[in-house]
């Protein structure tokens, strides 16, 4: 076990463009939330020793394919990785340090649910080397928490936040807005409450109905309706204004941070850097190759026993596919994307409809400065429509 938490990412020590990111997926939850389409599973029991061994083997397989790289971030996602024993967290961080050099100020994040049981592990998780926690509060209203299927109430969530702020120097938490019946005034009051806690980072997501979820079933029956596009856009604009005024401007469509406190790990995704993904259902991008691991925990374990890794699919990406992926990810960022890089990934001309780009700029939905393009404040709420228009067939 490493002796102390890894040093914190500093504004003057940003991740290098070629730094590798590592994603570790823990697939288990206590219960399945009705809005969640992530690869999460409820099991009566988990063989912790077997899972630690399997994750370490999956990690070793990826590391052998990525020798000599420097690791800029590690992210434990799920599922509910705060259910992992701290010993497993420490073993995986130590193994990563054996496989790769760590960047100065490496960011090591763990997603956590705000239950009192999990909050009791925070000190041990910090001692294992985690230096940043992302807390799934989701709402600051008890009725909303019940609607969202969360097991905690507001008091328990805020107690967990206080514990997290004492254990970790870097804390983020999530909220879901644009819930059924939520007025602009109610959301602004809830967001003001959230901003008062002084965390350096907030992830603020509009409620969406994802296929295969319980909410999708309710919506199909007509038993659930979320705010329409105009109402949601109003809430989005209020969110941008309030967070910017509080010193946490949006650096990505749903993520807000103090300058220098942006998620280094997620920036690797959005800037289309290389990342290794291990654990059930984890995706990866390395050297122009896409990887996808088996989703069902039992199938992933069986693949580990059989092959020494959990990969289900591993294939090279065509240049145009890489360029489109980079475009789709990069335009989520306030900084936008560099068309010259998109062209390089495509091996020539970027897969962009030039006439559509000019129209979108003229309409004030995109801005262009040299080879850099980015969504404007008016464009961000309709980004999906912009991308459908912009990407050439």
Residue 307 lies in a domain: no
In this model, does residue 1 exceed pLDDT 50?
A: no
The whole-model pTM stands at 0.93
At 92 the pLDDT is 98
Do residues 138 and 174 lie in contact, with contact meaning Cβ atoms separated by under 8 Å? yes
In this model, does residue 8 exceed pLDDT 60?
A: no
Mean pLDDT of 338-354: 93
Q: Which of 252, 270, 288 is the last residue of a domain?
A: 270
Residue 286 lies in a domain: no
Same domain, 199 and 325: no
Same domain, 351 and 244: no
Tally of domains within the chain: 2
CATH code, domain carrying 244: 3.20.20.70
Same domain, 198 and 329: no
Q: What is the pLDDT of residues 29-83, one digit of tens each?
A: 988 888 888 888 888 889 999 999 999 999 999 999 999 999 999 999 999 999 9
Contacts of residue 246, defined as CB under 8 A and 6 or more positions apart, other chains included, come to 195
Do residues 39 and 25 lie in contact, with contact meaning Cβ atoms separated by under 8 Å? yes
In this model, does residue 97 exceed pLDDT 60?
A: yes
In this model, does residue 354 exceed pLDDT 70?
A: yes
Give every strand in the sheet of 337-338, ordered side by side.
337-338, 372-375, 366-369
Residue 27 lies in a domain: yes
Same domain, 249 and 324: no
d(CA 187, CA 185): 6
Mean pLDDT of 295-316: 96
d(CA 224, CA 217): 9
CATH code, domain carrying 328: 1.10.10.920
Do residues 152 and 160 lie in contact, with contact meaning Cβ atoms separated by under 8 Å? yes
- The 3-state DSSP class for residue 371 equals coil
In this model, does residue 14 exceed pLDDT 90?
A: no
Between the CA of residue 51 and those of 39, 93, 293, 310, what are the distances in Å? 16, 15, 15, 12
Domain that holds residue 262: 20-270
At 36 the pLDDT is 87
Same domain, 115 and 224: yes
Residue 295 lies in a domain: no
Q: What is the pLDDT of residues 159-212, one digit of tens each?
A: 999 999 999 989 999 999 999 999 999 999 999 999 999 999 999 999 999 999
Residue 93 lies in a domain: yes
């Amino acid at each position: 076990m490493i002796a102390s938490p890894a040093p914190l990412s500093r504004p003057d020590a940003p991740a290098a463009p070629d730094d590798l990111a590592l994603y570790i997926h823990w697939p288990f939850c206590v219960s399945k939330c009705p809005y969640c389409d992530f690869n999460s599973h409820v099991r009566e029991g988990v063989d912790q020793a077997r899972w630690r061994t399997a994750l370490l083997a999956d990690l070793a397989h990826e590391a052998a394919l990525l020798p000599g790289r420097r690791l800029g971030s590690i992210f434990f996602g799920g599922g509910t990785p705060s259910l992992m024993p701290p010993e497993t967290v420490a073993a995986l961080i130590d193994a990563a340090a054996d496989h790769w050099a760590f960047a100065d100020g490496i960011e090591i994040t763990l997603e956590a649910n705000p239950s009192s049981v999990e909050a009791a592990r925070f000190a041990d998780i910090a001692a294992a080397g985690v230096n940043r926690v992302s807390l799934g509060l989701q709402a600051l209203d008890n009725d909303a928490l019940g609607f969202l299927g969360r097991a905690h109430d507001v008091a328990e969530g805020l107690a967990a936040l206080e514990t997290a702020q004492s254990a970790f120097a870097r804390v983020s938490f999530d909220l879901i807005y644009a819930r059924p019946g939520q007025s602009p005034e109610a959301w602004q009051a809830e967001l003001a409450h959230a901003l008062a806690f002084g965390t350096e980072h907030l992830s603020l997501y509009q409620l969406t109905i994802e296929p295969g979820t319980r909410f999708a079933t309710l919506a199909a029956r007509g038993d659930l309706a979320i705010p329409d596009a105009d109402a949601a856009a109003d809430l989005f604009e209020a969110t941008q204004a309030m967070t910017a005024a509080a010193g946490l401007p949006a650096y990505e469509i749903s993520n807000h941070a103090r300058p220098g406190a942006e998620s280094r790990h997620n920036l690797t995704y959005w800037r289309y850097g290389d990342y290794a993904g291990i654990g059930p259902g984890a995706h990866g991008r390395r050297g122009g190759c896409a990887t996808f691991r088996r989703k069902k925990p039992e199938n992933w374990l069986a693949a580990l026993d059989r092959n020494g890794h959990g990969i289900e699919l591993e294939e090279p990406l065509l240049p145009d596919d890489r360029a489109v992926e980079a475009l789709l990810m990069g335009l989520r960022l306030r900084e936008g994307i560099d068309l010259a890089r998109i062209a390089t990934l495509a091996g020539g001309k970027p897969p962009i409809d030039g006439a559509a780009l000019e129209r979108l700029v003229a309409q004030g939905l995109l801005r262009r400065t040299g080879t850099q393009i980015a969504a404007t404040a008016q464009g961000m709420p309709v980004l999906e429509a912009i991308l459908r228009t912009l990407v050439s067939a």
